[in-house]
Amino acid sequence: MADPITYDDFAKIELRVAKVLEARPHPNADKLLLLQVDLGDRQKQIVAGVRAHYAPEQLVGKNIVIVDNLAPAILRGETSNGMLLAATSGEKVVLLTVDDPDCVPGAKIK
């Protein structure tokens, strides 16, 4: 188990629902995908290390869970403006998704 954090530390993390609008392979990295996501009031790009587990077409249209307020990072020349959440089970990676079609992009997760 990782070191415990306080509630105040956890409250700083902004988790939101994001709809994947576009997914494509990163041009300079075999393990990365570039995702364009919709957060309701804006769109952003996220670079995700899930290429070995998901084909781009499997992600388009999915409502995923992201960390919205993560500081931007440059990954192999592309800017990532957030991070998707996924679970690992052995060798398998499973994206955290929202399956209710009435849950709108940008919905805050508490």
- Model confidence pLDDT, tens digit, residues 15-28: 999 999 999 999 99
d(CA 16, CA 48): 16
Residues 33, 76 contacting (CB under 8 angstroms) = no
Q: How far is it, in rounded angstroms, from Cα 69 to Cα 21?
A: 19
Residue 1 has pLDDT above 90, yes or no: no
pTM above 0.85, yes or no: yes
Token pair of 57 as six digits: 């077409």
Beta-bridged to residue 58, according to DSSP, are none
Q: Is the pLDDT of residue 109 over 90?
A: yes
User: d(Cα 54, Cα 37) in Å, to the nearest integer?
Assistant: 16
Mean pLDDT of 85-94: 94
Check if the beta carbon of residue 102 is closer than 8 Å to that of residue 15: no
